[in-house]
Amino acid sequence: MDKKNALRAGALAAGTTLMMLLLSSPASALARDDGDDPGSGLNVIETLGLFVFAPIVLYLVIAGLVMIGDKTHKKKDPTSSNIATKAEAKSEVKA
């Protein structure tokens, strides 16, 4: 990609981000609605468990399942298990 297209893409991304930030109004979250009944907040341990440890554990479980599936596929592959190779090949070419 040349410089002109890179600058155009960067300007588009920056403009889109700026417009999204300007159009969203986080101050309206402070105004309470009728019938709004929020529960108690999360403590530090619950927050870390929900947003840090749970995604890490989920990632490791999925990665482990993928590795297990990949290893069982390699054992059942008939194309690489029936190839016999010779350890030493000698040539009988005379100069």
Contact 50, 42 (CB under 8 A): yes
Looking at the chain, the whole-number percentage of residues with pLDDT higher than 70 is 69
List, in sequence order, the alpha helices (H) in the chain.
3-23, 44-48, 54-75, 78-81
Looking at every residue in the chain, the average pLDDT score rounds to 81
Whole-structure pTM value: 0.43
Instruction: Write the pLDDT tens digit of every residue in 37-75.
Output: 888 989 999 999 999 999 999 999 999 999 888 776 555
Provide the residue count of the chain. Answer: 95
Element (H, E) at 48: helix 44-48
Distances (CA, A) of 32 to 24, 35, 38, 42, 85: 17, 9, 10, 20, 76
